[in-house]
Amino acid sequence: MKFKILAIPFMREYGENTQLAGRDPHRFQVMMEKMKDQMVYAEELGYDGFCLTEHHMQVEGVEATTNPLLWNLYVAQHTKNFKVGQLGMNLTAKNPIQVAEDIAMLDHMTGGRAFAGFSRGNTARWTAAMGQHLDITSAESDKSEADQRNRRALYENWKLVKSLWTDDLTEHDGEFWKFPAKVPWEFNPTKDWSPEGTVDSRGILQKGGITPRPLQQPYPKVYAPFSYSMATAKFWAGEGAKMVSFVTADKEEFMPVILDNCLQAAHENGLTHTTNNDILALGAHLLTGHTEADRKKYKQMFTETFNYAYNAPPYHVPMGRVWNGGHQETLDQVMMLAEKYNIDEFFVWHHVGFFGDDIERGALEAFSEGVIKKVNG
């Protein structure tokens, strides 16, 4: 089985009341070291890789995941086989051409250890700022015009990214992006070393591509965070991506319907050998520890923090699945999910630099001892 970490780095500590902690360069340096050290240790413990969400403007020092791709490269430079990726990059407010280039470069610079993850973006503060040139704001899943515009951008931008990764040259004329720009282009290397039709008879550029294409062929594995949207699930399943869900057991009654629809979408798109394991990974908040007292303390601190920062405006995100038991209890929970859904990949949501090294490293150790080493030897 594969176990990846969804790492959430903080530039402040539990109980601290400092303003604008995210603006402090020294704090960022401390956080970088903690992230590096914990992920290096995680690889030694048997974890398969790590990823981050994308957030900007987090001046409060909460979830300081500016540019996951640079985090990926930083950790990859200090590990040997650790997979690195995103869960995910906001594909609606980003320039898809640059995203395609950057992930392809990351794939090469890590020797093929990269995976990609894309989301619609759920944070208005930075999604609206980054997407203002396209009149894009965060996804609300309320079927409003703004929400539907966000979804159209996701579909179009992924189509362009995929074409840039797989096609020698691309021509795209969409609602949000044109590629390439139809500019006069008189360049001898293009004339001599690019296919006919790259430039038309008037000397106007018609097709283009990126350098390089990814090292992994046709491109790195793609993941997408998923909660309740059937439209999102079917879209990504049809594209061969794997959804990652952290919903709790009381919300899992819809999962068989989701999976049936996703398998149908995949098969209709020609992915006829797709199984549950190809389209679904499950995850949980990692709140384990070596002793019952450790676990109880972690759960209390985490619950307080989550209800303050996440299950509150503007997110109103339910906590989702939690792994807070001892070795056997957690192993039983993992194996039950693996057998119920016929899957072999899990993500653990893990905070870095907020709850203290003893608690955070203890959780990584306890899960490794109780689950990873039991199932993988």
Most trustworthy range by pLDDT among 37-46, 126-135, 230-239: 37-46
Would you place residue 143 in the very low, low, confident or very high pLDDT band (cuts 50, 70, 90)?
confident
DSSP string for 116-151: EEEE----HHHHHHHTGGGT-----SS--HHHHHHH
CA–CA separation, 86 and 114 (whole Å): 9
Mean pLDDT of 52-68: 96
Assigned token pair, 244:
């990652």
- In the predicted model, what is the mean pLDDT of the chain? 95
Share of the chain above pLDDT 90, in %: 91
Three-point CA angle 149, 349, 264, nearest 5°: 50
Sign of CA dihedral 121, 124, 126, 132: positive
pLDDT tens string 255-284: 888 899 999 999 999 999 999 999 999 999
pLDDT tens string 292-313: 999 999 999 999 999 999 999 9
pLDDT at site 327: 97
Is residue 91 pLDDT above 60, yes or no? yes
pLDDT tens string 178-214: 999 999 999 999 999 999 999 999 999 999 999 999 9
Contact between 351 and 53 under an 8 Å Cβ cutoff? The reply is: no
For residue 25, CA distances in Å to 51, 52, 77, 332 come to 23, 20, 21, 43
CA–CA separation, 168 and 213 (whole Å): 9
pLDDT at site 251: 63
Domains of the chain: 2-129+151-165+213-376 (3.20.20.30)
Place of tokens 């001046």: 59
DSSP string for 79-105: -SS-EEEES-EETTTS-HHHHHHHHHH
Is residue 1 pLDDT above 80, yes or no? yes
pLDDT at site 250: 60
Is residue 253 pLDDT above 80, yes or no? no
Contact between 131 and 93 under an 8 Å Cβ cutoff? The reply is: yes
Would you place residue 248 in the very low, low, confident or very high pLDDT band (cuts 50, 70, 90)?
confident
Is residue 88 pLDDT above 80, yes or no? yes
Assigned token pair, 280:
């679904």
Would you place residue 121 in the very low, low, confident or very high pLDDT band (cuts 50, 70, 90)?
confident
pLDDT at site 249: 57
For residue 331, CA distances in Å to 1, 5, 322, 341, 368 come to 12, 17, 13, 16, 10
Would you place residue 138 in the very low, low, confident or very high pLDDT band (cuts 50, 70, 90)?
confident
Q: Annotate 127-160 with b (16+ C-beta within 10 A) or e (fewer).
A: bbebbeebebbbbeeeeeebbebbbebbebbbbb
pLDDT at site 99: 98
Of 130-139, 191-200, 345-354, minimum mean pLDDT range: 130-139
Length of the chain: 377
What is the model's pTM?
A: 0.96
CA–CA separation, 225 and 246 (whole Å): 9
The residue among 26 and 144 whose pLDDT is bigger is: 26
Instruction: Give, as one character, the DSSP assignment of residue 170.
Output: B
CA–CA separation, 319 and 309 (whole Å): 11
Would you place residue 230 in the very low, low, confident or very high pLDDT band (cuts 50, 70, 90)?
confident
Assigned token pair, 251:
């919300």
pLDDT at site 17: 95
